[in-house]
């Protein structure tokens, strides 16, 4: 619900943090840290709505759709971060999860004044969305015109739209097919939604993207089975994964990975099914990329 004077709840004043500027530094840190508990609670309460979103998004992506994040300011940066981390973590193509931020790439490193108020830009940039895609609009107060216009336009184009905010009565909630309210209340520093509301959005996006990738077979057990080994740390992780799932030594794991073109999943199927790389890939395609069915 809206706060006093029709303001979003995130614009209210947290009475428990009055006198923040007068606190000793250790108490100040403790107060700010304790306030983050509201973010965890808000995401847990939204669990049923998040679950519905995950199932729908996973189905759309499996059918060839893409997931788009649209946000402004902190919310836009959080969406960009989550999208950027999907390819190295889950081996996804960059176009599978995309981010749109008011003000463009410049807004990732510095505030672009007035960008969130540019509804025309939101409408224009939403034209990149296709029917069968999924869109998550991100706005702590749920009022950013850029985000609302993006979601409204994407919905009209046939996309599945989610409005994620900390205000269940917001314009973003009304514009979206599936509103998700992360009700975090007033910020410890009044109006600074990079704090509790921002943490809640980060938690929710982590949960959504990871759960979607689990549903798409990008995870086996609790392992990053589709990790892209682009540096020494990740190459070592890929070797450990193959060693664990095949029960072999490091030299054999390295040989398998080389024959599999670096794919942990292909290497494991090759060893466990005694087939070559081409046959392993065919088996994985048959099982929609899900390794468990082949072990």
Which residues have a catalytic role annotated?
85, 116
Q: Is the Cβ–Cβ distance between 290 and 216 less than 8 Å?
A: no
Q: Is the Cβ–Cβ distance between 153 and 145 less than 8 Å?
A: no
* Angle, CA 140 vertex, CA 193 and CA 154 arms, to 5°: 150
CA 42, 45, 150, 134 torsion-angle sign: positive
CA 271, 276, 279, 285 torsion-angle sign: positive
Q: Is the Cβ–Cβ distance between 50 and 80 less than 8 Å?
A: no
Length of the chain: 295
DSSP helix, strand, coil percent of the chain (3-state; round to 5): 60, 10, 35
What are phi and psi for residue 102, nearest 5 degrees? -60, 130
Q: How far is CA 163 from CA 6, 142, 154, 285, 287, in A?
A: 19, 8, 12, 33, 33
Q: Is the Cβ–Cβ distance between 87 and 93 less than 8 Å?
A: yes
Residue 205 CA from chain centroid, whole number: 3
- At residue 199, the 3 state secondary structure works out as helix
Q: How far is CA 14 from CA 20, 89, 135, in A?
A: 10, 37, 32
Residue with the two structure tokens 């790389």: 277
């Amino acid at each position: 619900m809206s706060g006093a004077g029709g303001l979003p709840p995130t614009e209210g004043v947290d009475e428990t943090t009055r006198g923040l500027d007068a606190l000793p530094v250790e108490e100040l840190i403790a107060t700010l840290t304790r306030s983050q508990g509201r973010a965890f609670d808000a995401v847990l309460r939204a669990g049923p709505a998040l679950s519905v979103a995950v199932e729908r998004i996973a189905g759309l992506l499996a059918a060839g759709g893409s997931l788009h994040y649209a946000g402004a300011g902190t919310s836009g940066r959080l969406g960009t971060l989550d999208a950027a981390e999907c390819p190295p973590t889950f081996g996804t193509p960059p176009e599978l999860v995309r981010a749109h931020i008011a003000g463009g790439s410049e807004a990732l490193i510095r505030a672009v004044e007035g960008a969130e108020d540019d509804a025309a830009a939101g409408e224009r940039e939403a034209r990149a969305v296709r029917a069968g895609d999924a869109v998550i609009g991100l706005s702590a107060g749920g009022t950013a015109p850029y985000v609302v216009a993006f979601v409204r336009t994407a919905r009209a184009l046939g996309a599945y739209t989610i409005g994620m905010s900390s205000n269940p009565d917001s314009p973003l909630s009304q514009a979206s097919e599936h509103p998700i309210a992360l009700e975090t209340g007033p910020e410890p520093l009044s109006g600074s939604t990079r704090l509790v509301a921002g943490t809640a959005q980060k938690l929710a996006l982590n949960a959504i993207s990871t759960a979607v990738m689990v549903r798409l077979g990008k995870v086996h057990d609790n392992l990053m089975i589709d990790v892209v080994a682009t540096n020494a740390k990740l190459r070592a992780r890929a070797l450990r994964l193959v060693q664990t799932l095949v029960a072999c030594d490091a030299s054999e794991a390295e040989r398998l990975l080389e024959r599999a073109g670096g794919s942990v999943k292909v290497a494991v199927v090759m060893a466990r099914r005694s087939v070559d790389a081409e046959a392993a890939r065919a088996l994985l395609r048959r099982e929609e990329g899900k390794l468990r069915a082949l072990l």
